[in-house]
């Protein structure tokens, strides 16, 4: 019957919309987590670069002091 076909179609469409919504929410959650991981890695790398720069500066100060002393 035509009404049954229409009802099935509407049900399938509702299911498809629900699945699409779930996929989008999952993708958003994954993106947020990935963003956090990338930012944490970047902060760690930046801190390592700053620490290396501090050590380089200190080493240069010691070298210069030896040369002048």
**Over the stretch 18-42, which tens digit does the pLDDT of each residue have?**
999 999 999 999 999 999 999 999 9
DSSP 21: H
Alpha carbons 44 and 36: distance in angstroms, whole number: 12
- Short-list 35, 31, 28, CA closest to 20: 28
Residue with tokens 């890695």: 41
* pLDDT for residue 69: 79
What totals of helices (H) and strands (E) does the chain contain, helices first?
1, 0
| CA distance linking residue 3 with residue 52, whole number of Å | 73
Q: What's the confidence (pLDDT) of residue 2?
A: 87
pLDDT at position 1: 80
Q: Is the pLDDT of residue 57 over 90?
A: yes
pLDDT at 55: 98
pLDDT value at residue 27: 98
């Amino acid at each position: 019957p035509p009404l049954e076909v229409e009802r099935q179609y509407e049900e399938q469409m509702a299911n498809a919309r629900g699945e699409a919504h779930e996929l989008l929410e999952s993708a958003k959650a994954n993106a947020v987590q990935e963003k956090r991981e990338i930012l944490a890695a970047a902060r760690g790398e930046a801190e390592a670069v700053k620490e290396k720069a501090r050590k380089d500066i200190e080493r240069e100060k010691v070298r210069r002091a030896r040369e002048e002393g």
